Amino acid sequence: MQAMVRDMRNRFLVALLFTIPIFVYSPMGGMFTPPAPPFGLGLDLWLFFLASAAVIYPSWPFFVAAWRALRNGILNMAVLVVLSVGTGYLFSVGSTFLFPGVQFYEAVAVLLVFILLGHWLEMRARAGASQAIRALLDLAPPMATVIREGREVEIATSEVQVGETIIIKPGNKIPVDGEIVEGTSLIDESMLTGESMPVNKAVGDEVIGASINKSGSFRYKATKVGADTALAQIVKLVQEAQNSKAPAQLLADRASQWLVLIAILIGLATFATWFWWLGAPLLFAVTLTITVFVIACPDALGLATPMAVMVGTGLGATNGILFKNAGALEDATKLDVIVFDKTGTLTMGQPHVVDIVAAEGRSDEDVLRLAAAVERGSEHPLALAILDRAGDLALDDVRDFHNREGMGAEALVGGSTVLLGNRRLMDEENVPLGALSEAADELKGAGRTVVHVAHKGDLVGLIAIADAPRPTAIAAVAALRKRGVEVAMLTGDNEGTAKRVAAQLGIATVLADVLPGQKADKVKELQAQGKRVGMVGDGINDAPALTQADVGFAIGAGTDVAMESADVVLMRSDPYDVVGAIVLSKATLRKMHQNLFWAVAYNVIAFPVAAGVLYPLIISPAVAAIAMSGSSALVAVNALLLKRTRMEGIGSSVAESGESDRSPTASPIPA
C-alpha cells in the first residue's frame, strides 16, 4: 500500500509539474503574456509536448484499469476517466497536427491533476487508517532468544521458525505464538484480550505473541509465526473490513456503472444535437461533449461509501473496536436485541473477595489480616484479591513461607503457623472445620471459591472469592436500553442465580440453564420472533451463537475462534464498547447516505449544465474538471468529519464522561 501511495503521489507531482506551464502558456491562463516557447517551437507544438508529459505517464494506470474493465464487460470510473481525458487529449493532438481548432490541453491536464490528487489522498487515507493497528503490531518485540544447535541465539522476531524453542525470562515480551514446553509463569495478555488479570500458564498452555511475561522463566515451542500470529490476524481483520464493500457501497458501484453509460449516451446526444440538429460549429459541439464526459467522472459517487467505511473502521480500530467487514458496520444499526454471555463478558474473570465468615471469637479483620500477611508478595490471582480487600491493614512479619502445591500455602506469622488454602489442605493438616463446615458448603454451592484460614491448628475463618462484574457492565446495559435495544443475558447458571445476577445488572430477559451447544438455538429462537439479534461472547464456547447472530461481538481478540466467529471484535473486552460500536455504525451509515445524496444530486444538476441546456450559460472542460474535483473533495471532507463527531462510547467523549458515568459500583456476582 505504501508503494502504491508513493507511485500515485509521483504521478500526481509529474502531472502537476507539467500542468503549471501548460496553464501559463494556454489561453485559459491569459492573465499575462507568456514568454515565447523555447527552442523556437510553435505554441501548439510546445503545449503538445507539455501535455504529453502531463498525461501519458500519470494517467497510464487508468488506461490499464479501463482496458481490464472493458474486457470483463464492466463500465467503471476508469473507463470514464479514459473517455474524458483521452477524448480531450486526442482531439487536441488532432487539432495540432491534422486540422485547425482549439486545443483542450489545459482542460485535460487540470482534470487529470485533480483526479490524481483525489486518488492519492484516498490511498493515503487507506494506508493511514490502519495506523493504530500497526502500532499494536509494534508491541511484538523486535528480537527473540531461541535455541539453535544447542545454544542460545538472539535473532530477529521475523526470523523465528515454527517448531523452534524460545526462551522467555521475567519481564520479556513474547515474540510469537506458541506452546509452553518447560516452566510456569503468569502472563499479562491485556494488550490483546483486554483482561487485566495475568493468566497462569504451565506446560501445554498456549501463549500469545506481544503478551508480557510477569514472573517465572519458561521455554516454549513456536506454533505460529509471521502472518499467522494473533497480532497479524488483527491487522488482517482491519484490512479486510476496509476493503470489503457495504451494501450501500454495492449500490454505489452499480450506480457508477449506470452513470458511465448515461454519460456516454448524454455526451453523444449532446454532440448530435448541437452539431447535426442545431448546426453549431464542430469545435463547440466537441467542447460540450468533452465537458459532459469530464463532469460525469463519478469520483464523488465512487468515494461516497469507501471513505465513510474507511474512516469508520479506522476510528473503531483506534478505540479498540474492530469491524471484520463493512456489512457488519451497517447491520449493527438495525439490532433489536443484544444477548450477552455472562461469564467472561459481563464479568471480569477477576477474583474479588465477596464475603468473610469468621469463627466465634474472631473478627473479619483478624481473618483478613492473617490471610493477607501470608499472601503478601504473591502474584497469584486469589492472593491479589485478598490483598486488595485488606487494603491498608497493618500486617505482621512473615517468614518461612511455603507453597503447598494445589492446596494453598503456609507461613509463620508473628511466630505462629498460619495455613491458607482449600479443604484438602485443612484435611491433610487435620484442622477441624467445626461450625464453619456448613458455611463453607453454602458458599461453595453459590459458586464462590472458598479460602480456609487456620491459625495455630484452628480454623479461624473463611474468605469467599468470586468473579466480579466488569466496571462498565451496568452502564452498558442502561445505555443500550436507553437506545431502545432489548438486553438479554445468556448463562449456564441455574435460573435463581441467573435472575439475581441479572437484577444487579439491570437486565430483564434471562436465558438460564443453557449449555454451550444450546446457545445458538437460543439466538435462533429470538430471530424466529422477527428480531435482529446481536450476540456478545468470549468467542470460544459462544462461537456457534456468534456465527448465528445477525452481528456477533467477540469480547477479547486473542483467539482464532473469536476472530473467525464474530463480525466485530472488542479489543478492550469492555461491554460498553458494544454501545460504541452501534453508535459508530449509525454515524458511519449517516455519512454514507449524506455522501450518496450529494454525489447523485451533483450529477443530476451537472449533466444538463454541461450539455448546454442553459445556453448561453455554458462551462468549459477545465471548469468542469474543477467542479468534479470539488464534488469529490466535499465527499471526502464530509467522511473525515466523522473523526470529529462526538459519539457516545467513542474517543474523547467517553473519557470526558468520567468513570463515574461508565463504571458504577456493582456487587460481585457468582462465577
Q: How far apart are CA 392 and CA 405, in angstroms?
A: 28
189-203, 262-276, 496-510, 574-588: which is most confident: 574-588
Angle in degrees, CA 320, 323, 328, rounded to 5: 140
Q: How far apart are CA 106 and CA 24, in angstroms?
A: 9
Confidence of residue 625 (pLDDT cuts 50, 70, 90): low
Q: How far apart are CA 667 and CA 556, in angstroms?
A: 23
| Tens-digit pLDDT profile for residues 492-549 | 766 766 777 788 889 989 888 887 668 888 988 998 999 999 999 875 557 678 878 8
Residue 643, phi then psi, degrees to nearest 5: -65, -25
Mean pLDDT calculated for residue range 73-98: 82
Domain boundaries, the chain: 143-228, 349-466
Q: Which fold has domain 349-466?
A: Calcium-transporting ATPase, cytoplasmic domain N (3.40.1110)
Residue 557, phi then psi, degrees to nearest 5: -115, 25
Output the pLDDT for position 345.
80
Mean pLDDT calculated for residue range 134-156: 83
Mean pLDDT calculated for residue range 154-172: 92
The yes-or-no verdict on residue 371 having pLDDT over 80 is yes
- What are the strands, taking DSSP E only, across 157-302? 165-168, 177-183, 185-188, 199-201, 206-207, 212-213, 218-224
Confidence of residue 218 (pLDDT cuts 50, 70, 90): very high
Output the pLDDT for position 628.
65
Output the pLDDT for position 596.
76
Contact 18, 26 (CB under 8 A): no
Output the pLDDT for position 168.
93
The yes-or-no verdict on residue 239 having pLDDT over 60 is no
For β-strands 218-224 and 177-183, DSSP reports them as antiparallel
| Tens-digit pLDDT profile for residues 385-403 | 898 888 888 888 888 888 8
Q: Own/partner pairs for 610-615, CB < 8 Å, 24+ apart?
A: 610/270, 610/288, 610/291, 610/292, 610/294, 610/295, 610/296, 611/266, 611/269, 611/270, 611/273, 611/288, 611/292, 612/270, 612/274, 612/288
Q: How far apart are CA 547 and CA 441, in angstroms?
A: 39
Q: What is the pTM of this model?
A: 0.58
Which of the residue ranges 166-170, 424-428, 463-467 would you say has the lowest mean pLDDT?
463-467
- Helix/strand/coil (H, E, C) string of 384-447? HHHHHHHCCCCCCCEEEEEEECCCEEEEEECCEEEEEECHHHHHHCCCCCCCHHHHHHHHHHCC
Output the pLDDT for position 398.
87
Average pLDDT, the chain: 79
Output the pLDDT for position 655.
33
Q: Which has more confidence, 294 or 39?
A: 39
**CA 543 from centre of chain:** 19
Confidence of residue 101 (pLDDT cuts 50, 70, 90): low
Mean pLDDT calculated for residue range 107-127: 74
Confidence of residue 241 (pLDDT cuts 50, 70, 90): very low
The yes-or-no verdict on residue 431 having pLDDT over 60 is yes
Q: Which has more confidence, 265 or 539?
A: 265
The yes-or-no verdict on residue 587 having pLDDT over 60 is yes
| Tens-digit pLDDT profile for residues 2-57 | 788 889 899 999 999 999 888 788 755 455 677 778 887 888 889 899 999 999 99
Residue 126, phi then psi, degrees to nearest 5: -65, -45
Task: Identify the helix (H) or strand (E) that includes residue 552.
Answer: strand 551-555
Tell me the CB-side half-sphere exposure of residue 134, using CA atoms within 13 A.
Answer: 9
Confidence of residue 197 (pLDDT cuts 50, 70, 90): low
Which of the residue ranges 194-198, 317-321, 429-433, 452-456 would you say has the lowest mean pLDDT?
194-198
| Tens-digit pLDDT profile for residues 118-136 | 678 667 755 655 454 565 5
Output the pLDDT for position 133.
53
Q: Which has more confidence, 438 or 636?
A: 438
Mean pLDDT calculated for residue range 68-74: 86
CA distances from 654 to 232, 647, 648, 651 (A): 28, 8, 6, 6
Same fold, 143-228 and 349-466: no
**Could you name the CATH architecture of 143-228?**
Distorted Sandwich (2.70)
The yes-or-no verdict on residue 240 having pLDDT over 70 is no
Mean pLDDT calculated for residue range 401-427: 86
Output the pLDDT for position 223.
93
C-alpha grid cell for residue 182? 518447560
Q: How does 491-501 read in b/e, with b if 16+ C-beta sit within 10 Å?
A: bbbeeebbbeb
Residues with a catalytic annotation lie at 341
Beta pairing partners, 272: none
Mean pLDDT calculated for residue range 281-299: 73
Output the pLDDT for position 670.
39
